[in-house]
């Protein structure tokens, strides 16, 4: 119908698209007037998913429309290249298109030519722009015969393009409203989902019959990854009777948004394809396991501190006993000249103490830090140096408890005091085998307890999942069987829970569907193919 040019507006420094009516249509003054009038009506549409019209007029006898230049590709070229569009992207684009139609319909404008070539996708493919509002809607709703004569005159011999996306009422030359656009949108979405046109006939008459009477091929025949909800929306859009479709674009947009939200929620949950009887135990066991890990870790850390406290208390008693027994000998020697000091009784005491399995080593040093007795006699006479790289467990009241460098012993260091005076220190190594054994036993007991809890939670959740999946499976089987039996079936049950309510809802649905099926519609015995209305082919 028009030639489209890329143009530049020097007054505002903007690149635009100029659509100029072709010469063969300019000769009809009535059509030229309609072209300008309808374009001006479409110019009132300001929506992010509708190509904006900036100016409408006539120059040198040529009607023109100056409109937004959308950088991107027409949807028909995208589909030709890719075959189909992924579900999430399709839903986002479909929501934009249904919002655009809802906005236009609210302004009293019916597009009447919704098709892939009239939809432009942005460069990133995530934004859709609907073109040519009002141009295809030649009449204002009433049909005085002039439009029918014009269509019959301009359609002869043209390649089928627009007719493939017509609604049944449009193809039969009946009055159309906004629901006609929704049917065309359904045909576009069907093609975006499957990569196939909804109606594939090549002749005008057979195509009109197919659109008016035949159901489209099931979507799952061409693709397996289309959610059932999306397929149902498309089927509802393609209903033959207008009153069986969505009432307006807002309803379509809400339904599509619900499906997109559900699809996004599925992406954030457990792996796809798993049944509830597996996903429920997996989720509960995972949560229980994480909780147990934190709880057991905290409990074991607390138990370790308690056991270490008990070990240090017990070791302190031993160190105090040793210190008290050698205090007199240390005090006696401290009051004598070095030449008269006798440390042999002290060494004998240390040697005897080391014979106890509960003592790994003893080092006794005097007030000047000289070792006077030790289980390792080579240390006697050397300067005592306490290891600095050991972990301190306790340090209070002069007692210092550390983990020995070999990590198998506890080192107790205690001052030797007598009559309130300090005469040296005792370094005592006690084994921590009992402490480690107690910790290991506590750890093993906790692991056994955690394993039992995990098994119990898994068993309970698995049984709970089975209690849910069984009625769901029954409901799904009923949904599959209902259409095959013309909805003459009901679910018998005695449940009083939520599934009972769900079964009752299914029974009410099938009852209503059966009543509608039993109402025999009045269908014409034949259709006059000459009544088919075909819109004139438009430029890209």
Give the DSSP per-residue string, 406-458: TSSEEEEEEEEEETTEEEEEEEEEEE-HHHHHHHHHHHHHHHHHHHHHHHHHH
Per-residue pLDDT, averaged over 465-489, amounts to 83
399 with 381, same domain: the answer is yes
91 with 212, same domain: the answer is yes
User: How would you list the strands of the sheet with 421-431, edge to edge?
Assistant: 371-374, 361-366, 421-431, 409-418, 399-403, 392-396
DSSP H or E segment with residue 461: helix 433-484
- The answer to which of 242-246, 248-252, 475-479, 489-493 has the lowest mean pLDDT is 489-493
Last residue of a domain, one of 37, 69, 101: 69
130 with 257, same domain: the answer is yes
Q: What is the CATH number of the domain that holds 375?
A: 3.30.450.20
Q: Is 212 within a domain?
A: yes
SS3 label, residue 156 = coil
Q: Is 310 within a domain?
A: yes
Per-residue pLDDT, averaged over 212-240, amounts to 88
Phi then psi for residue 14, to 5 deg, are -130, 140
Write down the pTM of the prediction.
Answer: 0.52
248 with 376, same domain: the answer is no
Per-residue pLDDT, averaged over 313-320, amounts to 85
269 or 287, higher pLDDT: 287
Residues with catalytic function: 113
113 with 190, same domain: the answer is yes
pLDDT at position 527: 41
538 or 365, higher pLDDT: 365
Q: Is the sign of the CA dihedral 86, 92, 95, 96 positive or negative?
A: negative
181 with 32, same domain: the answer is no
Burial of 134 (C-beta count, 10 Å sphere; 0-12/13-18/19+)? buried
Q: Is 282 within a domain?
A: no
345 with 406, same domain: the answer is yes
Per-residue pLDDT, averaged over 22-30, amounts to 83
Within a 10 A sphere around the Cβ of 311, how many other Cβ atoms? 21
Share of the chain above pLDDT 90, in %: 23
Per-residue pLDDT, averaged over 466-489, amounts to 83
310 with 415, same domain: the answer is yes
Q: Is the sign of the CA dihedral 401, 402, 404, 410 positive or negative?
A: positive
Residue 393 clears pLDDT 90, i.e. is over it: no
Q: Is 503 within a domain?
A: no
Q: What gap in Å lies between CA 89 and CA 252, rounded to an integer? A: 16
Q: What is the CATH number of the domain that holds 37?
A: 3.30.200.20
Residue 155 clears pLDDT 80, i.e. is over it: no
CA dihedral 245, 246, 249, 254 (to 10 degrees): -140
Confidence of residue 265 (pLDDT cuts 50, 70, 90): low
Cβ–Cβ < 8 Å for 237, 183: yes
Residue 234 clears pLDDT 90, i.e. is over it: yes
Q: Is 538 within a domain?
A: no
Per-residue pLDDT, averaged over 88-101, amounts to 94
Confidence of residue 312 (pLDDT cuts 50, 70, 90): confident
Q: What is the CATH number of the domain that holds 218?
A: 1.10.510.10
Last residue of a domain, one of 401, 421, 438: 438
**End-to-end CA distance of the chain, in Å?**
9
How, if at all, do strands 128-130 and 119-122 pair? antiparallel
pLDDT at position 153: 37
Structure tokens given for 452: 């039992």
Per-residue pLDDT, averaged over 238-247, amounts to 92
Cβ–Cβ < 8 Å for 401, 410: yes
pLDDT at position 141: 40
pLDDT at position 267: 57
User: Tokens 């507006």 label which residue?
Assistant: 9
Q: Is 1 within a domain?
A: yes
- If phi > 0 it is left, if psi is from -120 to 50 it is alpha, else beta; for residue 538 that is beta
197 with 322, same domain: the answer is no
Per-residue pLDDT, averaged over 37-66, amounts to 84
57 with 82, same domain: the answer is no
- The answer to which of 163-177, 202-216, 261-275 has the lowest mean pLDDT is 261-275
269 or 49, higher pLDDT: 49
pLDDT digits (tens, 9 = 90+) for 334-379: 888 888 889 999 989 988 888 887 788 899 999 889 999 998 889 9
Angle CA(29)–CA(131)–CA(21) in degrees, nearest 5? 25
Q: 401 lies in which domain range?
A: 304-438
Q: What gap in Å lies between CA 150 and CA 138, rounded to an integer? A: 10
342 with 379, same domain: the answer is yes
pLDDT digits (tens, 9 = 90+) for 334-345: 888 888 889 999
Residue 42 clears pLDDT 60, i.e. is over it: yes
Share of the chain above pLDDT 70, in %: 87
Q: What gap in Å lies between CA 239 and CA 212, rounded to an integer? A: 10
Q: For residue 87, what are the contacts with CB-CB under 8 A and spacing of at least 6?
A: 193, 225, 226, 227, 230, 263
pLDDT at position 537: 43
pLDDT at position 436: 81
Q: What gap in Å lies between CA 423 and CA 412, rounded to an integer? A: 17
524 or 77, higher pLDDT: 77
Instruction: Report the number of secondary-structure helices (H) and strands (E) in the chain.
Output: 14, 13
Q: What gap in Å lies between CA 520 and CA 536, rounded to an integer? A: 36
Q: What gap in Å lies between CA 149 and CA 235, rounded to an integer? A: 33
Q: What gap in Å lies between CA 369 and CA 169, rounded to an integer? A: 110
140 or 37, higher pLDDT: 37
32 with 125, same domain: the answer is no
Cβ–Cβ < 8 Å for 234, 255: no
C-alpha dist (Å) from residue 299 to 391, 437, 439, 530? 22, 17, 11, 86
Last residue of a domain, one of 41, 69, 97: 69
Within a 10 A sphere around the Cβ of 14, how many other Cβ atoms? 13
What rounded mean pLDDT belongs to the chain? 82
Give the DSSP per-residue string, 220-236: GGT-S-S-HHHHHHHHH
308 or 407, higher pLDDT: 308
pLDDT at position 268: 52
Number of structural domains, the chain? 3
Q: What gap in Å lies between CA 208 and CA 529, rounded to an integer? A: 8
Q: Is 367 within a domain?
A: yes
pLDDT at position 519: 67
pLDDT at position 522: 46
Q: Is 290 within a domain?
A: no
- The answer to which of 102-111, 440-449, 519-528 has the lowest mean pLDDT is 519-528
* Residue 67 DSSP code: E
């Amino acid at each position: 119908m028009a030639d489209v040019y890329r143009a530049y507006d020097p007054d505002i420094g903007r690149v635009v698209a100029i659509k100029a009516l072709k010469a063969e249509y300019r000769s009809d003054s009535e059509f030229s007037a309609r072209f300008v009038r309808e374009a001006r009506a479409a110019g009132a549409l300001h929506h992010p998913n509708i190509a904006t019209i900036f100016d409408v007029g006539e120059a040198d006898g040529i009607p023109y429309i100056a409109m937004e230049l959308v950088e991107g590709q027409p949807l028909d070229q995208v589909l030709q290249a890719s075959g189909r569009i992924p579900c999430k992207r399709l839903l986002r684009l479909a929501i934009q298109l249904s919002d655009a139609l809802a906005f236009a319909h609210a302004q009293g404008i019916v597009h009447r030519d919704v098709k892939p070539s009239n939809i432009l996708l942005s460069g990133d493919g995530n934004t859709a722009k609907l073109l040519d509002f009002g141009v295809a809607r030649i009449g204002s709703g009433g049909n005085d015969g002039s439009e029918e004569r014009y269509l019959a005159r301009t359609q002869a011999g043209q390649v089928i393009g627009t007719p493939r996306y017509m609604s049944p009422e449009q193809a039969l030359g009946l009055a159309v409203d906004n629901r006609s656009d929704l049917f065309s949108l359904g045909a576009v979405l069907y093609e975006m989902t499957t990569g196939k046109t909804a109606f594939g006939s090549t002749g005008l008459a057979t195509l009109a019959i197919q659109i008016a009477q035949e159901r489209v091929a099931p979507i799952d025949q061409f693709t397996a990854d289309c959610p059932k909800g999306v397929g149902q929306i498309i089927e509802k859009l393609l209903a033959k009777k207008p009153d069986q479709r969505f009432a307006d674009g807002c309803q379509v947009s809400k339904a599509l948004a619900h499906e997109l939200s559900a699809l996004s929620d599925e992406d954030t949950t457990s792996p796809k394809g798993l049944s509830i009887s597996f996903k429920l135990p997996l989720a509960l066991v995972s949560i229980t396991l994480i909780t147990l890990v934190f709880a057991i870790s905290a409990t074991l850390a607390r138990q370790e501190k308690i056991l270490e406290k008990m070990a240090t208390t017990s070791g302190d008693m031993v160190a105090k006993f040793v210190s008290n027994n050698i205090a007199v000998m240390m005090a006696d020697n401290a009051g004598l000249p070095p030449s008269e000091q006798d440390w042999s009784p002290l060494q004998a005491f240390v040697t005897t103490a080391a014979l106890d399995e509960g003592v790994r080593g003893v080092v006794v040093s005097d007030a000047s830090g000289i070792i006077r007795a030790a289980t390792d006699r080579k240390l006697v006479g050397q300067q005592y140096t306490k290891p600095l790289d050991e972990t301190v467990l306790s340090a209070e009241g002069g007692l210092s408890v550390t983990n020995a460098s070999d990590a198998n012993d506890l080192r107790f260091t205690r001052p030797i005091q007598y009559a309130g005076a300090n005469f040296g220190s005792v370094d005592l190594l006690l084994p921590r085998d009992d402490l480690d054994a107690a910790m290991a036993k506590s750890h093993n007991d906790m692991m056994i307890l955690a394993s039992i809890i995990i098994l119990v939670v898994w068993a309970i959740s698995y049984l709970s999942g089975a209690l849910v999946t069984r009625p769901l499976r029954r409901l799904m089987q009923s949904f599959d069987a209902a259409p095959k039996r013309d909805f003459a079936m009901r679910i018998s049950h005695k449940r009083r829970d939520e599934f009972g309510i769900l079964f009752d809802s299914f029974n009410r649905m099938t009852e209503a569907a059966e009543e509608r099926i039993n109402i025999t519609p009045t269908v014409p015995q034949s259709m006059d193919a000459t009544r088919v209305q075909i819109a004139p082919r438009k430029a890209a």
